[in-house]
Chains A and B, each alone.
Chain A
């Protein structure tokens, strides 16, 4: 799993995030859940709750666990797989897990208040009811049982109806129906773009493209279906859980690129199962056809012992150098154990059926599988090196005369940190908030923490307002410097002009006088001469293109591949204080308020003052030491 690019994307040095920890916690929680399910041991159930707590501490994605496990429990109950082990696996998790989770400050009472957790409580109730039913079934005769069932069902329906009504009323009374925006945007992919532009504006929250799937999970994409089939052959509690996991995570990753991260381990497990099943079949057919039974037996014994070692590794999945190929058998091993326990008869029958593969074919197949694994490792290393290890703050481009380094971001941050006052505040779009705080050591107005939408909307509004209004907003925020990212000169596509529509949307979400259609010409976002006057007069446009025309005389924007609409203009309330080498970052300072001088007096006075000053200078020039 460590090699899967989508996991690497989160765990390489530099972008080491809490998600890297969280994925381990997630998988560990699932592992313990299955372990409890198989053993029915209360010890593992407690461990499970603790690892769930660890997950809650590390990532907000813990809601995934608390919804997936109830779903699985429900599935088991519906398919008639209820057992005491299931109860032991589930009930302590809900009780202990919820108690522990509410200890985390961020979660607090959300652990019982929000709708994300309702599913778990509902299933908690259901599992108790089912347990009660099974208990009664055990102590009563079948006839009595039937009577009891009709009795209980009739009462239960009434109670359930009442409870449901209360619940629905409660939920409906809150505006977002008790679900937080992030969860809603998961359930309904179109929700975010409708209501919370700030979530939708992050590129990580966009639906992924097919290439990105292939890039991230590569051959696993083909092995996953095989794994699902392998899971179905002996359908056990555990394998049904894995299937549920892969299905939900595929859906989630389809909604957001970022949740590819959740898909990655699931895909690993599935393809591990698939590969293990394949290897199982091939090696068995080879082993049988090769002479020298005793040797084989010894090897088999060795294998089982090594397998148990790998299984231990699986528990402590933090090991890094573990080869991807090696990793897979570890997953399968876990699977196999369960199968051994659950349905040995089925397994051996299947084995016997599959024994008929010819020797040559199976050897070739094994060879191809190993080759596939090797290629996958190569691909993962390549992806890790090329796509995820390059720092996004330093850009490089290859041209005919060698490597070009675009180090503009750090240039600007270094300039800010050395040449502005320590308590100056910098306004920029929130993407650059953390970077500015860390690298330039300056206070920013908005940063990558998106809890407070209004702040971001204020900056978005300022950026999309005309100069004067923007100056007033920034001045009221005590901002000294405004930083914009502009890629038009060198063709850096993720600059502020391309993000500008999000600023408008987010700003308009809070301040209704900013309207998105004002910035669009016939529904199209453009910055050329066809652009709307609102667009051409907004602050972001002006700060980005200030004096841009003088570079080549035409003001050709290389990102938008067009000439800009308004070429010659002056800034009255801002002044350029720094622009980096490739113009990628431009920093402007708010001009101080001008003295209020009325009408003509102003002109004459300014003239007088200018003449005196020139005189003085002239005098000085003549004889500066007097």
Chain B
């Protein structure tokens, strides 16, 4: 009904509108592509200047209802004619509010830098991309239903100029067409509907048409996408993209049956989002795909030297109205995206999402530059909201400057490169490693200083001196213990030599062993003397000295008895006495030795404890 009313308005307005300028559109061809969720209208306008003045702008008109969906608009012209078309020149387009125009219309003006002289003509290619212009109807479907959408357009090209000849073709996906408006000259060819040609229509001619058709392609809409591009001059560009995805098609109602979905996937749940394809740059590495509860295992990656393709499946198939959120991240080599010009560095990287099927409500691109970057400026091919913030990361002192670009209603056409210029000295790169190195260096230096500096306040206090002496005493006692231990070991050796003797009967070897060991023992007792003397001189050793002396005495006793026993055994071997006889002879000795050994062991442990 609204459209009817609008139309009424137009016609009323039409009567009062003066002819705007002398431009005439001699031919208009429009092609509407409805095969995806994004509506693309490509119009080829042949503009003629019928007046006498130089005209420098061409107005494009859209009804407000359509203009609110408009996401991208570009106008270009190709030089030359026929097949020898030159390079396309694009013209700046901006929104204008000319006076005296009918209401409920939004105007965009294409400025022609060269202007259009009298009688000249120009072919203008206008691409308008609409997001969300397809409305699901019915709005709620069950799993078994197919998804139908409607699209509203005007059969006549809405323009403030006279249009001489025009035609319109609507390309639909290869599926069922529920209905479409039939007016004169309407033809249908397979999945393409053709309107026109219509001739000589006055300005603001309007004839609404509606197409209602089956659209099973997924309506993946990212309500918010935050892309964070972090530049590291150590050779890496880290891109992290946080998606907040919703299926914007007809909402599903009623049951979801996995059985139906698995058994007849193309009938039950045809419009579900099963997977998305992200086209990443070549030489991308360290790719991940996860959400807040961890890695999502359903993804796949292909790559060659031109591109890398990642197929990502959400955790569950998404039906109309279902939501999900996930994060993908990847690293890129720095040299592919960072360049230098005129003493400045600039990052040249794509703006939109690498996932082509997705349209984005709000896209926030954050470019995190290295710490210490200055003179930051952004150049983008279309208007974006700019901001700045800082991000503090590891080892940052002041934080990294972040350029924040925000844009609403982003379609794949926005996937163009933009540039961030900044100045950065390579020496700043070394700051963080130097910081780390110096930090560790100071820690070690502090440790060394602490270990080597005597921090006691008074060097002459009695307790300090006592501690020093006590340390000396302890060292001496330790040495004494070591020596005693070695003596004990030599005793064990003597015993062993006796055992050898009983086995082999080699008296000479045994004797020589005794001689050698005896020498060793002598040396040890020599070593012991100065130690004992130092202990006796020390006051601190008063407590421990008697024990030590007792130990040394016992050990000497043990030594003597050991020797005596040894020589006795060797003697009796020389005399070829019987084993029992030897045993009888040394039995007493042996007992004493065992007792002494026991005492020495006890004393050692006792001293150890003190």
Which residues of chain A have a CB within 8 Å of any CB of chain B? 288, 293-294, 296-297, 300-301, 340-341, 344-345, 348, 394, 405, 407, 410-411, 413-415, 418-419, 439, 547, 550-551, 575-581, 583, 617, 620-626
Whether the Cβ atoms of A297 and B485 lie closer than 8 Å is yes
Please give, as numbers and ranges, the residues of chain A lying within 8 Å of B598 by CB-CB distance: 345, 348
The CA-CA distance from A296 to B297 in the complex, in Å, is: 59
Chain B: interface residue count, which band?
35 or more
- B345, CB-defined interface residue at 8 Å: no
Please give, as numbers and ranges, the residues of chain A lying within 8 Å of B489 by CB-CB distance: 293-294, 296-297
Please give, as numbers and ranges, the residues of chain B lying within 8 Å of A578 by CB-CB distance: 256, 258, 316
Please give, as numbers and ranges, the residues of chain A lying within 8 Å of B608 by CB-CB distance: 340
Whether the Cβ atoms of A625 and B150 lie closer than 8 Å is yes
- B556, CB-defined interface residue at 8 Å: no
Mask: chain B, 559-580; 1 = CB below 8 Å from A; 0 = not: 0000000000000000000000
Whether the Cβ atoms of A624 and B137 lie closer than 8 Å is yes
Whether the Cβ atoms of A301 and B482 lie closer than 8 Å is yes
Whether the Cβ atoms of B316 and A414 lie closer than 8 Å is yes
Q: Which are the 8 A-B pairs with shortest beta-carbon distances?
A: A579-B258, A418-B323, A414-B315, A293-B489, A411-B315, A439-B293, A405-B297, A625-B210
Q: Pick the contact of A344: B137, B263, B496, B602 (CB < 8 A).
A: B602
Cβ contacts A to B, 23 pairs, < 8 Å: A293-B493, A297-B485, A341-B605, A348-B598, A405-B297, A411-B315, A413-B293, A414-B324, A418-B322, A418-B324, A418-B325, A550-B259, A551-B259, A575-B255, A577-B256, A578-B256, A579-B256, A620-B137, A621-B178, A624-B137, A625-B150, A625-B208, A625-B210
What total of A-B pairs shows CB separation below 8 Å? Answer: 97
Whether the Cβ atoms of B257 and A576 lie closer than 8 Å is yes
Greatest chain A CB density within 10 A among B210, B254, B316 is at B316
Please give, as numbers and ranges, the residues of chain B lying within 8 Å of A620 by CB-CB distance: 137-138
Quick one: which of B312-343 are within 8 Å of A by CB?
315-316, 322-325
The CA-CA distance from A439 to B296 in the complex, in Å, is: 14
The CA-CA distance from A296 to B488 in the complex, in Å, is: 12
Q: Pick the contact of B316: A405, A415, A625, A626 (CB < 8 A).
A: A415
The CA-CA distance from A288 to B494 in the complex, in Å, is: 12
| A16 CB to nearest B CB, Å | 16
The CA-CA distance from A419 to B315 in the complex, in Å, is: 12
Please give, as numbers and ranges, the residues of chain B lying within 8 Å of A413 by CB-CB distance: 293
Whether the Cβ atoms of A288 and B486 lie closer than 8 Å is no
If A293-B489, A293-B490, A297-B485 touch, does A410 touch B293 (CB 8 Å cutoff)? yes
Whether the Cβ atoms of A344 and B601 lie closer than 8 Å is yes
Q: A297-B485, A414-B293 are in contact. List 5 more A-B contacts (CB 8 A).
A: A300-B485, A407-B297, A576-B256, A579-B258, A583-B258
Quick one: which of B150-187 are within 8 Å of A by CB?
150, 152, 178-179
- B581, CB-defined interface residue at 8 Å: no
Whether the Cβ atoms of B212 and A624 lie closer than 8 Å is yes
The CA-CA distance from A531 to B29 in the complex, in Å, is: 72
Please give, as numbers and ranges, the residues of chain B lying within 8 Å of A345 by CB-CB distance: 598, 601-602
Whether the Cβ atoms of A411 and B601 lie closer than 8 Å is no
If A418-B325, A625-B210 touch, does A580 touch B293 (CB 8 Å cutoff)? no
The CA-CA distance from A460 to B365 in the complex, in Å, is: 50
Q: Pick the contact of B179: A419, A579, A621 (CB < 8 A).
A: A621
The CA-CA distance from A22 to B248 in the complex, in Å, is: 51
Please give, as numbers and ranges, the residues of chain A lying within 8 Å of B298 by CB-CB distance: 407
Whether the Cβ atoms of A547 and B482 lie closer than 8 Å is no
Please give, as numbers and ranges, the residues of chain B lying within 8 Å of A624 by CB-CB distance: 137, 150, 179, 210, 212
The closest CB in chain A to the CB of B478 belongs to A301
Mask: chain B, 477-495; 1 = CB below 8 Å from A; 0 = not: 0000010011001101100
Quick one: which of B54-68 are within 8 Å of A by CB?
none
Please give, as numbers and ranges, the residues of chain A lying within 8 Å of B1 by CB-CB distance: 626
Please give, as numbers and ranges, the residues of chain B lying within 8 Å of A579 by CB-CB distance: 256-259
Whether the Cβ atoms of B315 and A407 lie closer than 8 Å is yes
- B3, CB-defined interface residue at 8 Å: yes
The CA-CA distance from A614 to B298 in the complex, in Å, is: 41
- B291, CB-defined interface residue at 8 Å: yes
The closest CB in chain B to the CB of A304 belongs to B608
- B462, CB-defined interface residue at 8 Å: no
- B294, CB-defined interface residue at 8 Å: yes
Whether the Cβ atoms of B258 and A419 lie closer than 8 Å is no
Whether the Cβ atoms of B605 and A415 lie closer than 8 Å is no
Please give, as numbers and ranges, the residues of chain B lying within 8 Å of A296 by CB-CB distance: 489
| A572 CB to nearest B CB, Å | 13
Please give, as numbers and ranges, the residues of chain B lying within 8 Å of A623 by CB-CB distance: 179
Whether the Cβ atoms of A344 and B257 lie closer than 8 Å is no
Whether the Cβ atoms of A414 and B291 lie closer than 8 Å is yes
Whether the Cβ atoms of A625 and B486 lie closer than 8 Å is no
Please give, as numbers and ranges, the residues of chain A lying within 8 Å of B486 by CB-CB distance: 293-294, 297
The closest CB in chain A to the CB of B324 belongs to A418
Greatest chain A CB density within 10 A among B212, B259, B482 is at B259
| A495 CB to nearest B CB, Å | 16
The closest CB in chain B to the CB of A576 belongs to B255
The closest CB in chain B to the CB of A439 belongs to B293
| A398 CB to nearest B CB, Å | 15
